[in-house]
Amino acid sequence: MAIIEKAPAKVNLGLDIVGRRSDGYHDLSMIMVSVDLNDYITVSEIDDNAIIVESNNHKMPLNDKNDVFKAAKLIREAYHISSGVKIELQKSIPICAGLGGGSTDAAATIRALNQLWQLHLSKQEMVAIGLEIGTDVPYCLEAGCAFVSGKGEIVEHLDHHPSAWVVLVKPDFGISTRTIFPEIDCQTISRVDIASLKEAILTGNYKQMIANMGNSLEDITIKRKPFIQKIKQRMLSCGADVALMSGSGPTVFALCQSEKKANRIVNSMRGFCNEVYKVRML
């Protein structure tokens, strides 16, 4: 029997760094939303007592450096699973892009193995496993539109989210989140009013939402990679309602209520960067 799970990418409509925690992590305040750019995870039992990961993307590690492998290993050890598993990872989400690709793949693997091995895991049990892999995994377990706080483990799903076209532009370099967070100075970093952003989303006020979107990590990543700012400026000059870096970057996304405007941005950006996607929010 094979179990297939969809793993959607995410963008951060707002990302605020609240402060540094005693455990070395940062307290975050974020609004995240899933977009229709998906990886797919297929899991199936094998006779060998092993974890085998295969992928269509040759850049993916297929060992314990892969979040999918980590998820399977954690579950097998925690619940004393003796059977082996083959995990096929069909990648469409760019790697090291700020779109949550590794986290959403890990979350899909947890959901899929919960079914395959009939573990009947509670939400809290899956969150606990996810947190051992990455702070975005708890959100990715259910995805959608959500307010996320703590170090990522507190997820409040929002019933409303904006209806808009999303244009994603990934430059030809990646950014490792782990290299960005040590550079955060909580005294000087720019702040984002997540409370006002959340209120705008819940009341369906698109204009107010746009006005309150922001990403505290932009200053750090753009200082390292100024090309990100050029992408933002080009998108805005093409008529984007807003252009913002997602996560720790380097992907920049634009929101447009008009598909015609989104198409204009896509056409302009395709001559500027190789990876350009037009998607919808899920």
**Does the annotation flag 98 for ligand binding?**
yes
| Alpha-carbon gap, residue 47 to 279, rounded angstroms | 40
**Does the annotation flag 99 for ligand binding?**
yes
**Does the annotation flag 273 for ligand binding?**
no
**Does the annotation flag 101 for ligand binding?**
yes
**Does the annotation flag 249 for ligand binding?**
no
By annotation, the residues acting in catalysis are 10, 136
**Does the annotation flag 255 for ligand binding?**
no
| Alpha-carbon gap, residue 249 to 97, rounded angstroms | 6
- Which amino acids are annotated as binding site for ATP, given as ranges? 94-104
Which residues are known binding-site members? 94-104
